[in-house]
Each structure stands twice: as C-alpha cells, then as structure tokens.
Chains A and B, each alone.
Chain A
Amino acid sequence: MSWIHIMILLPFIYAILVPFLYKLYSHKLHTGWFVMPIPVIIFIYLLQYITPISSGEKIYTTLAWMPSLGINFTTNVDGLSLIFGLLITGIGALVILYSIYYMAKKREALHNFYIYLLLFMGAMLGLVFSDNIFVLYVFWEITSISSFLLIAYWYQRPKSRYGAQKSMLITIFGGLAMLAGFIMLSMMTGTNSVQEIISQMNDVTSGPLFVPAMLLTLLGAFTKSAQFPFSIWLPDAMEAPTPISAYLHSATMVKAGIYLVARFTPVFGGAVEWFWIVSVVGMITMIWGSFYAVKQTDLKALLAYSTISQLGLIMSLLGLGSASMAFGFTEESAMYTVATGAAMFHLINHATFKGSLFMVVGIIDYETGTRDIRRLGGLMTIMPISFTLSIIGGFAMAGLPPFNGFLSKEMFFTSVLRASELPIFSMETFGIMFPVIAWVASVFTFVYCMILIFRTFAGKHQPERLEKKAHEAPVGMLIPPIVLSSLVVIIFFFPNIIGQSLLKPSLAAILPGFTQDGAFEFITKIEAWHGFNTELFMTIGIVIFGTLLYLSHKKWSSVFYTLPEWFSLNSVYNAALEKSETVARGITNNYMTGFIRDYLVYIFAFFSIALLTCVWVLKGVSLDISNNAPISIYEVILVIGIVISALGVLFSKSRLTAIISVGALGYIIALLFVIFRAPDLALTQLIVETVTVALFLLCFYHLPEFKKEHSRVRFRITNLIISLGVGITVTLLALSAQGNKLFEPISSYFENSYELAGARNMVNAILVDFRGFDTLLEILVLSVAGLGVYTLIKLRKQGSGTNETE
C-alpha cells in the first residue's frame, strides 16, 4: 500500500464520508467545500512526480489483490498517465469550485452529486494509473456507471433519463467488447500487465487473435471517446448539470478512450489495420462533429459536437503517429512522431479551453435562464468577463494565435502533411485525403467557434426573451474558467515548459521504441512562428474561408435541413432499440405460447433430435442380442396386453375408458413383475396402481359440467412424429445399453445379504440397509407430497372455485 494507491483510493474512501458531512453541515456550509481539498491534495501529490518522470523514470508499484489470478492493483506512473492524472485532479478541483457556486445549496441533493463525482474521479485516476488490464477494466466500468449516475442527476426529467440510458448502453457495450479484447491479449501473451504485454507483443503480431483483440479494444476506446458512429450519446449527455458536462464530457471521461488508444499504441501500433482504423475513424468523427456543431442552436449541444470533433482530431493524430512504428525506430521515422506529440499537446489544450467554455456556458445559462442562441445576444457589455473568457476559449478552439489551440493546430497540420507523404500503407493514393479533410473540418470548427462567441455576446440584446435579468456572474463562479483561460494563454507563450516536463515523457511512454536522445526534440521546440510554410497558409485560408462562411451563414444554413430528420444516427439508434425490443418481444411471444403442450413439444423434440443426432454421428447403435434371455410365451402375451391397453388409452372415446385402460396397463405390469420374479415390486405396483386409478376417477368425477368433452384425442401429425421419435430414441438407447455391457454388475455383492445384514429378503435389505439414504429421502418426498396435497385442499383462497363442502 504505497502513497499512490492511497491517493487513487482516497476519493472512494472520502465518498463514504460525504453524506455524513452533508447531514451535519449542509445548512451552514456548501458540501463542495469539504470535497474541494481532495483533488487539490492529489494534484499536489502528483506534481511531485514531474521531476522524476521527466528524467525518464517509471514508477511501478504493486498492491496484491488477487495474486492467484494474476490480477493485482499495479500502478505505473509514466508521462502518459501523469498528464491524465494532472488533468483529472486539476480540472476536478476547478470543477468542484465552480459547482459550489453553480449548484444551489438549498434545492439540490448535493451529497448525491459529490458522491458520484468522487466515485468518478477515483475511477478515472485508477483507470489511468492501472497497469493491470483487468483492474483497468474495473475502473473503466466504474467511470461508466458514475457517469450514468451523473447524467441522470436530475432524474425527474425524462430527457436526463434518456441520455443516461443511452450513454450507459453505448459505453458499456464498448466496455464489454474491450474486456473481450483484453482477455485475448492476456491469452496471447500470458500476462496481465500492460508493460509486459508491450514487451512481449512482437512475438504475437502475426497471431490469429491479434486483429480481433485490436478491433475489440478499439471498440471500447471509440465508444468511450464518442467516435463516429458511437458519438450519439455525447450530445444527449448534456442533460447533466454543467459542471459535469465540463468535467466528464470535455476533460476526462471522453479522454479515457484516447488514453486507451495511446496506451495500447505500443502494442498494436505499426499494424496497417490500426493505422487506418484509428486515423480514418478520427477524421470522420472530426468532420462529422464539426459539421453538425454549426447546426446547433443550444450552446451545450454545440460544445458537445465540438468535443466530438476535437476528440476525433486527437484520435486521428494518434493513428497517424503510429505510422512511425512501422518504420522501425530510426531517425527518419522520428519525423512522423510529431503527430503523437500533437495529439498529447492538443489533449491538454482541449481540456483547458473546453472546460472553460463549458463553465462560461453554464454561467450564461445561470444568469439568463436560457442556452438558446436564438434568444441570446448583446451580452458583451453586460457580462464582460464571460465575454473575454469565451473569446479566449473560442479562439483557442478555432486555432488562432495567441492561444494554445493555434500551436496544436499547426502541429496537426504538420502531421497530416507529413502523413500524406508516407511511403507505406498505400498512402501514395489516399494520403492527400488527410490534409483536405483536416482543413475542411478546421473551417467548420472556425465557423462554430465564431457562432459560439458572437451569436451569444454580440448583436442585439433581447431582455424580453430572457427569463432573468442578465448580469455578470459571482466571482467564485468566474475563478475556475479564469484559471483555465489563463492556462490557455500561458501555454501559448511558454509551451516548452509543458513540452519538456510532460509531453516528452508521455511520448516516451506511447512510442517506447525510440530510445535515442533527440527523437522527440521537436516537442521541446514548439514555436508560434515557423516562417511562411504550408501550415501557416492553411491557417490563413481557414480564417478567410471561415469568416466568409460565418458571414453568409444565414444563406447556406438551410443545407442542414435538406437531410430529413430520420436520416441521422440518433434515429438509427432509436429505431434499433425499438426494433430490437419489438423483435425480441415478437420472438418470445412466438414460442412462449403459454400452452404446456407446446413446451412439451419443444422438450421432446429437442430430446429425441439431440439424442438421435448423437447416436447417428457417434455410430452409437450396436444391437447385440447374444446375451439376451429366451422369450417365453407369457411375456409375449403380457406385452400384447400392454400394447392393447396403451392403444386403448390413445383411441378411447371417453376419459373413463382411458382411465380404466391405464389401470389395466398398470396391473399387467404388475403381472410382468410377477413373471420376472419381483414379488415386492408386484405388491407395491398393485397397490399404487389401484390408488392412482382411484385418484384419476376422483379427478374425472370433478370435471366441470360445461365443456365436458366426450371425444377422442385429437390427431396432430406433429405429435405423432414426435411421439414416434421419442419412442424410437428410447428403444434404441435401451437396446444399445443392453447390448454393450462393459463390466459385470455388482449385484453378486448383495446376494450375501443374510451374512452382511441379516436379511433373507434381498430387495428389502438393499432398501433399508445397503442403500437406506435413498429410502429416507423417498419417504421425505412422500411426506412433502402429502403435505402439499393437504395445503392445496385446505388453504384455498376464498371465492375461487367451488367449495366442495357446500
């Protein structure tokens, strides 16, 4: 139990205390103040790691959990997990500070809110620091569950519940797929630790499970990170309170998939499938998200789609960066690692500006009572600080200087331009696609950023359309976005601090093959000015085209409505859900008819078909009648009698005849027992048969008057076939078993029952002495049956059925 484990588990432990704190102090002090120190402590603790990590150390600690299964809570702190840990705790602290002012103390169930939030934070920390794939999966699912709880925080609203259900279905579907991929990985390599899998992966890249494991793991990453086509849950998750949207759906949870892809790049990277799937899905997500973000009229939905688009950008960069592994780890392949560097850099940048933008949108919502762009406008003079913050965030998102988005956007363009010249993966033909898509998506990004800023803050103020009188937010609410925005600016001016301390070790974790110094030197030389090159002209083109598109937005925005409403991923999802329900219900109603005769048909058909197939396939029939006793005339007569009475049951017109035929059958069997020298059996059989017939007659007598059927059994061809099948099956099995005696029976042992048990009657000696346990429990069966009959008769509900005593 080292400090790092304590720090990961601290949120979980503290979550237990939250309800007590809420109960004791909620009327005096906002519960958030009690929760606030936790992420701060963890953040400060994680800051200490920067120095050793940036000098190339890896800190690896183990806590035994299930050692016999090879599942231990091992933590691995390297550059990659440290970036995520700092993001989670830093933004977590800011979000909690923001939520203290955002969530009302009186109205909201704050203890629930902070418990879910702490659960989520702990799960996220565990996810990024776990080295064991199964522990990682455990934390992964806890993030899904806590996210589900947080989205449905206002569970009274149907839309919240819908969004929560949708996100849960999609992310848990991906999580389970990921678990399957992890199991395959652990089967291939024989270890559960990510680091050991990486070191052993070179042996199994050609194995049959390599591609399935890759696809399943990617399915998990894509669903969590809202990549196309699984991105549909993210816009609906905006029903959550705004601090949650800022925290989960911009900075942390949606980055879990990014983390997974980055973490497993050393495992799968270099494979052509990985390169294409990750980069192309990322590109599609990027352009799809940016295109749809322009359409939105709700600020949070706009930010949701922009998050999808930015995540697609990061994902595609990770895919492009993996190309460097295909080259081996040489000087020239290092130039392609710029994509991975850009991915990590943009990940940090995106967390800063997107978090701040969400908070600003929350402030607008809080102060004006609406998030609808069509109602807002002219808030520039009323909310100057928020306006400044959104300018910073929006321009950073659009990729303009002097904000950090500009730097990562430039690196992004560098990466796609270099990737388009890749000499492998048939990039000669398709390579040009990447810069084009990237550029078009960036244009749309620019447009929606401008919409976000200027539709909200510029233009005409319409106080009559707002629910409240707008004014600037309280200072406590403004502190977190101010901190994040100042980070946006600071990172632009001093990018190399981050580059040296965080990005470089994270690249060493993602691409561990590059051992020589100087492979990642570019990351510490990030500059805003490279001279006039293609990337700069691309940016200028984006600004020009984006401005033109924004100004003519009214003219072309009808393009969004050319596609009909049903032609969207959401309607596909809804239809699929509905369809699967109706189909499942239909199937169930088809075969679960409620008629016992149908179920008996299934049972008997399955029984005979399965057994006959087995017998057929395994050549199980071998009829050997050499050991059989000779057949005497009495047996023939009795068997003929049995057949006659059985047919009498089948073809009887009335039930009474059937009952009597059954009785005759039983008596003939008693006679068979007589002939086969089993007196005890004959005695018992006679008594039981008599009692049974009497009971049948009782039932017959009490049949209701109406609908009494005095007709023969209705003929059904399926029943005939199945009954014949079952009869044939049983006959075949009995004859085969009879003909294949493998060893002598043990009955010779019971023959000295007199010496062993002092009984001349062997059957009785077996029943009560050699094998008395069976008899004991048979007695129990009879007593249970008797008690059951008694209760059935005595404990009848009043008024149901006719009472026999009347």
Chain B
Amino acid sequence: MFEKVLMIVLIALTISIIAAIYRVVKGPSMPDRVIALDMIGINLVAAVAVISVLLKTYAFLEVILLIGILSFVGTIAFARFIERGVVIERNRDN
C-alpha cells in the first residue's frame, strides 16, 4: 500500500518534471527557462527523497542537499547572467 502511494508520487513528480522540461525547451524567454530548470531541481530533490524511502536507505540524503544547493546556486548564476551579462564580476581596481 505504502509503496503504491510512493509510486504514484513518483509518477506525479515525473509528469511535473516533463512539463518543466517542455517549458525549458519551449520557453520563449530566458527567465522562463531558468525558472523551469529551478523547478526541475526541486522536483528532483523530491524524487530522490521518495526513491530513498523506496530503497530504505540513508545514503542519498547528501544528494538531496546537494541538488538543493546546486539548483539555488545555478539559478542565482543565471539570474546574474541575465541581469548583468557576467556571472562573476572582476575587481576593477587591479
């Protein structure tokens, strides 16, 4: 019973990821794509968590954290890129 629920959750997550991928591919503007990517990241966090429950293991908790960090950093980087044209600004003094 519990496993079936988890499976349904996973399928729902997959559908949402596919929808986000559609937005990444289609997305008329750059911010659309970036937000879709961020959403994929969050969905992946959820999917990995569900899979960990399914596999009955603690081993993937770091993966969850990492995906969270990475998607955050990636989104920030993209945002800067779209805003200012560079990701890392140089110090203009030297």
Report which A residues bind B (CB closer than 8 A).
633-634, 637, 641, 644, 648, 657, 660, 664, 667, 670-671, 674-675, 677, 679, 682-683, 686-687, 690, 693-694, 697-698, 701, 805
Q: Is the CB of A683 within 8 A of B62?
A: yes
Query: Within residues 1 to 60 of chain B, which ones have a CB less than 8 A from any CB in chain A?
Result: 7, 10, 14, 21, 24-25, 33, 37, 40, 44, 47-48, 51, 55, 57, 59-60
Q: Which residue of A lies closest to B17 (CB)?
A: A641
Dominant secondary structure of chain B at its interface with chain A: helix
Q: What are 19 sample pairs from A and B whose C-beta atoms fall under 8 A apart?
A: A633-B7, A634-B10, A644-B21, A648-B25, A657-B25, A660-B33, A664-B40, A671-B48, A674-B60, A679-B59, A682-B60, A682-B63, A683-B62, A686-B66, A686-B70, A687-B70, A690-B73, A694-B77, A701-B81
Residue tally, chain B, CB below 8 Å to A = 28
**Chain B residues near A677 (CB, 8 Å)?**
55, 57, 59
Q: How many cross-chain pairs have Cβ atoms below 8 Å apart between A and B?
A: 54
Which of A634, A664, A690, A805 interacts with B74 by CB under 8 Å?
A: A690
Contacting residues, chain B, for A634 (C-beta < 8 A):
10, 51
Say yes or no: A671 contacts B47, CB within 8 Å: yes
Is B67 engaged at the interface, CB distance under 8 Å to the other chain? yes
Among A660, A670, A805, contact of B24 (Cβ-Cβ < 8 Å): A660
- Known contacts A648-B25, A671-B48; is-contact A686 B67 (Cβ 8 Å): yes
What residues of A have a CB within 8 angstroms of the CB of B51 in the complex?
Answer: 634, 674-675
Q: Is the CB of B37 within 8 A of A679?
A: no
Nearest CB of chain A from residue B49's CB, rounded to whole Å: 10
Complex contact A690–B70 (CB within 8 A): yes
Min CB distance, A656 to chain B, in Å? 9
Q: Are B44 and A671 neighbours in the complex by a CB distance under 8 Å?
A: yes
With a CB–CB cut-off of 8 A, which chain A residues contact B7?
633
Is there contact, CB below 8 Å, between A674 and B24?
no
CA distance A136 to B88 in the complex (A): 73
Which one, A644, A660, A667, A694, contacts B44 given CB within 8 A?
A667
Query: In the complex, which residue of chain A has the Cβ closest to the Cβ of B33?
Result: A660
Cβ of B50 to closest chain A Cβ, rounded Å = 10
Chain B residues in contact with chain A, CB under 8 A? 7, 10, 14, 21, 24-25, 33, 37, 40, 44, 47-48, 51, 55, 57, 59-60, 62-63, 66-67, 70, 73-74, 77, 81, 87, 90
Chain A residues lying within 8 Å of B33, measured Cβ to Cβ, are: 660
Shortest Cβ gap from B46 to chain A (Å): 12
A401 CA to B90 CA, complexed, in Å:
102
Q: Is the CB of B63 within 8 A of A686?
A: yes
Contact A683 B66 (CB under 8 A): yes
Q: Is the Cβ of B63 less than 8 Å from the Cβ of A674?
A: yes
Complex interface: chain A residues within 8 A of B63 (CB)? 670, 674, 679, 682-683, 686
On chain A, the residues within 8 Å of B81 by CB distance are: 697, 701
Looking at the assembled complex, report how far the CB atom of A694 sits from the nearest CB atom of chain B, in whole angstroms: 7
CA distance A694 to B25 in the complex (A): 18
New A-B contacts (15) at CB < 8 Å, excluding given A660-B24, A660-B33, A690-B70:
A634-B51, A637-B14, A641-B21, A657-B25, A667-B40, A674-B48, A674-B51, A675-B51, A679-B60, A682-B63, A683-B62, A686-B66, A686-B67, A694-B74, A698-B87
* In the complex, chain A residues whose CB is within 8 Å of the CB of B57: 677
Contacts of A698 in B (CB 8 A): 87
Minimum CB–CB distance for B44 against chain A, Å: 7
Enumerate chain B residues within 8 angstroms of A633, measured Cβ to Cβ: 7
> Contacts of A690 on B, CB cut-off 8 Å?
70, 73-74
Among candidates A648, A660, A664, A687, residue contacting B66 with C-beta atoms closer than 8 Å = A687
* Nearest CB of chain A from residue B42's CB, rounded to whole Å: 13
> In this complex, what residue of A is CB-closest to B55?
A677
With A and B bound together, what is the CA distance between A502 and B24 in angstroms? 99
Q: Which residue of A is nearest B65, CB measured? A: A683
In the docked arrangement, what's the CA distance between A634 and B17, Å? 14
**Min CB–CB distance A148 → chain B (angstroms):** 63
Chain B residues within 8 Å of A682, by CB: 60, 63
Closest 10 CB pairs of A and B: A679-B59, A690-B70, A682-B63, A679-B60, A686-B66, A674-B48, A683-B66, A683-B63, A683-B62, A674-B51
Q: Which residues from chain B contact A693 at a C-beta distance below 8 Å?
A: 74
Residues of A within 8 A of B24 (CB): 660, 664
A683 partner residues in chain B, CB cutoff 8 A: 62-63, 66
> Which residues does chain A contribute within 8 Å of B40, judged by CB atoms?
664, 667
Say which residue of B44, B62, B90 sits within 8 Å of A805 (CB atoms): B90
- Bound together, the chains give a CA A670 to CA B60 distance in angstroms of 11
Residue of B nearest to A663 (CB): B37
A671 to B52, CA, bound (A): 12
Q: What is the bound-complex CA distance between A110 and B21, given in angstroms?
A: 85
Give Cα distance in the complex from A660 to B41, angstroms.
Answer: 13
User: A697 to chain B: closest CB distance in Å?
Assistant: 7
Q: How far is the CA of A682 from the CA of B52 in the complex (A)?
A: 13
**Complex Cα spacing A694 to B76, Å:** 12
Which partner residue on chain B sits nearest A645 by CB separation? B21
CA distance A670 to B62 in the complex (A): 13
Cβ distance B38 to chain A, nearest Cβ, rounded Å: 13
Minimum C-beta distance from A726 to chain B (A): 27
The CA-CA distance from A671 to B64 in the complex, in Å, is: 11
* CB atoms of A679 and B21 under 8 A apart: no
Nearest Cβ in chain B — how far from A792, in angstroms?
A: 18
Kindly state the separation between the CA atoms of A170 and B66 in the bound complex, as whole angstroms: 72
A633 to chain B, nearest CB (A): 8
In the bound complex, what is the Cα–Cα distance between A670 and B55 (angstroms)?
16
- In the docked arrangement, what's the CA distance between A670 and B40, Å? 13
Which residues of chain B are within 8 angstroms of A694 by Cβ–Cβ distance? 74, 77, 87
Q: List the B side residues contacting A671 at CB < 8 Å.
A: 44, 47-48
- Contact partners of A670 in chain B: CB under 8 A: 63
How distant is the Cα of A697 from the Cα of B74 in the complex, in angstroms? 12
Nearest CB in chain A: distance from B59 CB, A = 4
Bound CA span A693–B33, Å? 15
Within the complex, the shortest CB–CB distance from B55 to chain A, in Å, comes to 7
Which residues on B sit within 8 Å (CB–CB) of A664? 21, 24, 40
Complex: A683 Cα to B68 Cα, angstroms: 12
- Quote the shortest CB–CB distance from B21 to chain A (angstroms): 7
Chain A residues lying within 8 Å of B47, measured Cβ to Cβ, are: 671
Q: Is the CB of B48 within 8 A of A660?
A: no
Of all chain B residues, the one with the shortest Cβ separation from A648 is B25
**How many angstroms from the CA of A153 to the CA of B44 in the assembled complex?**
81
> Measured between C-beta atoms, what is the minimum distance from B28 to chain A in Å?
13
Chain A CB within 10 A, most for which of B33, B47, B60, B87: B60
Residues from chain A with Cβ under 8 Å of B44 in the complex: 667, 671
Q: Smallest CB–CB gap between A126 and chain B, Å?
A: 72
Select from chain B the residue with minimum beta-carbon distance to A644: B21
A657 to B27, CA, bound (A): 11
Nearest CB on A from B62, distance (A): 6
Most chain A C-beta atoms within 10 Å of own C-beta, residue among B47, B59, B63, B73: B63
Chain A residues whose CB sits within 8 angstroms of the CB of B66 once the complex forms: 683, 686-687
B64 to chain A, nearest CB (A): 10
Inside 8 A of B21's CB, which chain A residues have their CB? 641, 644, 664
Q: CA of A697 to CA of B40 in the docked complex: distance in angstroms?
A: 19
| Nearest Cβ on chain A to B12's Cβ, whole angstroms | 13
Residues of B within 8 A of A644 (CB): 21
Report the Cα distance A682→B55, complex, angstroms. 15
Query: Closest Cβ of chain B: how far from A105's Cβ, in Å?
Result: 71
A670 to B47, CA, bound (A): 12
A660 to B30 CA separation, bound complex (whole angstroms): 12
CA distance A697 to B33 in the complex (A): 14
Output the least CB separation between A638 and chain B (Å).
9
Bound complex: CA of A641 vs CA of B62, how far in Å? 24
The residue in A641, A675, A686, A698 that gathers the most chain B C-beta atoms within 10 A of its C-beta is: A686
Chain B, Cβ-Cβ closest to A677 = B55
Complex contacts, A687 vs chain B, CB 8 Å: 66, 70
When C-beta atoms are compared, the residue in chain B nearest to A804 turns out to be: B90
Residue on B with the closest CB to A675?
Answer: B51
Query: Shortest Cβ distance from B88 into chain A, in angstroms?
Result: 10
Contacting residues, chain B, for A660 (C-beta < 8 A): 24, 33, 37
